[in-house]
Amino acid sequence: MKTIRMGAFKKGLEKALSDPLLFALSAMLLAIFSVSPADAVQLKILPSKVHQGDAFMISIRGLKGTAAPSAVFNGKPVLFSSCGKRCLVAIGAIDLETEPGVYRIPLKIGKHKTTLRLRVLKGKFETIHLTLPDEKVSPSPEDLERITREAELLNSLWEVESERLWKGRFVFPLHNPLSTPFGTKRIINEETVSIHRGLDMKGLDGEEIRASNRGRVVLTEELFFGGNTVILDHGQRIFTVYMHMSGFTVSPGDLVSRNDVIGYVGSSGRSSGPHLHFGVKVLGVNANPVSITGLKLGTRRAVYHESGRY
């Protein structure tokens, strides 16, 4: 494969990006630049189409030497890990409120620098109406104190950066249909409006819930909104969240593998019936679980399944 020097690469990329007919094609092609006269590094962002709230991955192949890549997206460092010989991968996510458009991701490998460009498309989100008891919608002063305390606890968890534990792709914790998709606007009792920052999956009371990926249990608590909740830390500031459970089978500190049973479907917390709320946090951003389960991770032939479903 021919090596393209940085200057020529950047000029060619800028020309392609200035032509709307070439933009979609250029987004799908590998970015190739010279790390040394003999080494070509291939960069790829997957999927080629990213919507508001989606997770995405950056793949680096052909890297030689000890120079570690560094990148920044939305002011936060991108965390890379191995996906095979001379292969690195990082997972990022687009916030639900991110405006559609083209975003730059500065990338540095050794003394060489380039910029990846990520096009964010507008997402399509539903609106639903829910009816819940007043005490679930209008908390008492005591409950408000509890809600604040729990929010502070969760926010502190999302900032923890631990070693990578996840292996391979993320999977759904239930093999059941979705009941409320990610990003749904919920109008509660025709007054309160909230945005659903996870997804709800149908389930029978007591049905087994399984870990989405390898990770360490960092929380098993009964929360005001989420009820019985389990949070797994998969490393590199990637977390999965399981809410409204009827009970747990794990404890904080436990190391679990993908598909291990961690608890059971229930209706605890602010819930209108048995189901599982499944959430994903990536670098502090709420990501659509469908998008992260669609990323094929841990192999050199990383691809994205556009359906993102079973």
pLDDT tens, residue by residue, 152-190: 999 999 999 999 999 999 999 999 999 999 999 989 888
- Its pTM surpasses 0.85: no
Q: Which long-range contacts (CB under 8 A, 24 or more apart) does 19-28 make?
A: 23/119, 24/48, 27/117, 27/119
Inter-residue contact 53 to 63 (CB < 8 Å): no
* pLDDT over threshold 60, residue 278: yes
User: What is the pLDDT averaged over residues 251-259?
Assistant: 98
Place of tokens 């919507």: 51
Inter-residue contact 231 to 211 (CB < 8 Å): no
Q: Which helix (H) or strand (E) holds 134?
A: helix 134-137
Lowest mean per-residue pLDDT among 160-169, 205-214, 284-293, 301-310: 301-310
* pLDDT over threshold 50, residue 1: no
In sequence order, which ranges of 177-294 are alpha helices (DSSP H)? 289-293
* pLDDT over threshold 90, residue 307: no
Inter-residue contact 280 to 288 (CB < 8 Å): yes
Q: What architecture does CATH give domain 6-121?
A: Sandwich (2.60)
Q: 42-69 pLDDT, tens per residue? A: 898 999 789 999 999 999 988 876 678 9
* pLDDT over threshold 50, residue 23: no
Q: 188-203 pLDDT, tens per residue? A: 888 877 899 999 999 9
How many Cα atoms within 13 Å fall on the side-chain side of residue 121?
10
Number of CB atoms found within 10 A of residue 3's CB: 16
pLDDT at 103: 93
DSSP code for 304: B
pLDDT at 49: 84
* pLDDT over threshold 70, residue 8: no
Question: Is 135-179+198-293 the same fold as 6-121?
Answer: no
**Tokens of residue 270, six digits:** 């602010």
β-partners of residue 32 are 42
Q: Indicate the average pLDDT of the chain.
A: 84
User: What is the pLDDT averaged over residues 254-268?
Assistant: 98
DSSP code for 115: E
User: What is the pLDDT averaged over residues 261-266?
Assistant: 98
User: What is the pLDDT averaged over residues 243-248?
Assistant: 98
Q: Please name the fold of domain 135-179+198-293.
A: Glucose Permease (Domain IIA) (2.70.70)
User: Hey, where are the domains in the chain?
Assistant: 6-121, 135-179+198-293
Would you place residue 39 in the very low, low, confident or very high pLDDT band (cuts 50, 70, 90)? low
Higher local confidence (pLDDT), 186 or 3: 186
